[in-house]
Amino acid sequence: TGTLASGEPFVTATFSAPTNIAVIKYWGKRDVKLNLPINSSVSVTLNQDDLRAMTSVMISPAFEKDRLWLNGEEEDVSKSKRIQTVLAGIRAIATDRTLADGTVVPAAELADPSKWRAHIVSANSFPTAAGLASSAAGYACLTRVLAEVYGAAEPTPNALTAIARQGSGSASRSLYGGFVRWNMGAAADGSDSFAEQVATADHWPDLEVIVCVVSADKKETGSTAGMTTSVETSELLAHRAAAVVEPRLSAIEAAYTARDFPTFGAITMRDSNQFHACCLDTFPPIFYMNDVSKRLIALVHRFNAKHGSIVAAYTFDAGPNAVIYTTKAHTAALLATVMAHFPRPAALASDAEYVSSAPALEAAKAAGVPAGLECPSGDEDVGAVRYIYKTTPGDGPRRLDDSASLVDSATGTPA
């Protein structure tokens, strides 16, 4: 808490939040307004040291209306139903706040949008256009930071995830680190459709992640629109939700718990493939993967064949980027193999500009490409992969010091 230059009080907080990559995909809503899914899903939370959303919120009676700035641009809050839903969800569970001067603001006053209003400033460390799940990190971060400033008290365990879910379904899973399941729930009001942690981030220290950002030449079908058409037209999606997902969830949770990579990897790849098969089965069909995605798939299968077991596993969301899970023993050789087949774009001066992690790059150069996986000269696909992130599983949202705030504490506007 503090005081603006105008003398009016404020409450503020800043958080960062991670993205997550599902290994059993969420695809299809049974209720579009409440973001209720047709199946449960599970994901691995990625390390926010590498990819994160960061959001500062300041609330004050000095502000005229709720306002939002995203990556430097002001957005109209009144036009975003999702933001409004998250705001209303948190205000409904606000608690009394004690200000710096000892004054207590009752919850009812704090949560009254005609009395206290919110300025929200958010920034992503990864390009929104990259097709990485920035909405997951963004809505998880927004939910968490709003919960902090409003002193939100969860009426039931995991209730915050159900609020984040209404911003973006996958955001429900970014409120925890490690391995997270979003239970589809059965209630019509969505109260039992929340996420919970299955294993913490440090449960499987050997697990590592390589993200290949693939150039997309055309605008993809948005998740919400794509899901609607898939639910309406794909018989395969209906079969998936009814018969495939539940057994896969139990099997992959057991594999993750036992740190059994071959089983974890096999289910991950099959589930990604089935999700994209459902997209092809949608009428008219939706294509998220492109030729580069397919070449990456083939390369991972060759890498595994060479090792005689599954040591790397790809998964693709609603775009052409490949997320490849592997274990420490194989990261360097895998990265070297990907880089041999997909050399950096000509516009990048060195591999240091191509790969996010200098130690990972060094290790890849030292490891080299395993015999038999070299790229025949002339077959290199230069620039088809734009950028490579090397990361690991990570923890849930983190509170940052007010000194990192994106809101100026004198004016209450972006710093």
Residues near 21 by beta carbon (within 8 Å), at least 6 away in sequence? 43, 44, 46, 133, 209, 315, 317, 323
Binding region for ligand DP6 (CB under 6 A) out of 60-68, 85-93, 164-172, 302-310: 164-172
Q: Tell me the per-residue interface mask from 109 to 148 with ligand DP6, x by CB under 6 A, - otherwise.
A: ------------------------x-x-------------
3-state secondary structure at position 270: helix
Identify each DSSP E strand in 255-397 by its residue range: 312-315, 322-327, 385-391
3-state secondary structure at position 257: helix
Quote the CA–CA distance of 334 and 318 in Å, as a whole number: 24
Residue of 9, 18, 28, 169 that binds ligand DP6 (CB under 6 A): 169
Residue of 60, 124, 223, 327 that binds ligand DP6 (CB under 6 A): 223
Q: Can residue 170 be called a binding residue for ligand DP6 (CB under 6 A)?
A: yes
Residue 143 near residue 73, CB atoms below 8 Å: no
Quote the CA–CA distance of 264 and 244 in Å, as a whole number: 16
Residues near 350 by beta carbon (within 8 Å), at least 6 away in sequence? 344
Q: Tell me the per-residue interface mask from 34 to 73 with ligand DP6, x by CB under 6 A, - otherwise.
A: -x-----x--------------------------------
Name which of 60 and 135 has its Cβ closer to ligand DP6.
135
Q: Can residue 25 be called a binding residue for ligand DP6 (CB under 6 A)?
A: yes
Name which of 3 and 191 has its Cβ closer to ligand DP6.
191
The alpha carbon of residue 313 and the mean position of all alpha carbons in its chain are separated, in whole angstroms, by 18
Residue of 4, 22, 46, 111 that binds ligand DP6 (CB under 6 A): 22
Residue 212 near residue 321, CB atoms below 8 Å: yes
Q: Report residue 189 as tokens.
A: 């009001």
Q: How far is the CB of 111 from ligand DP6 (least distance, A)?
A: 25
Q: Can residue 161 be called a binding residue for ligand DP6 (CB under 6 A)?
A: no
Residue ranges that bind ligand DP6, judged by CB under 6 A: 22, 25-27, 35, 41, 133, 135, 168-170, 223-224, 317-318
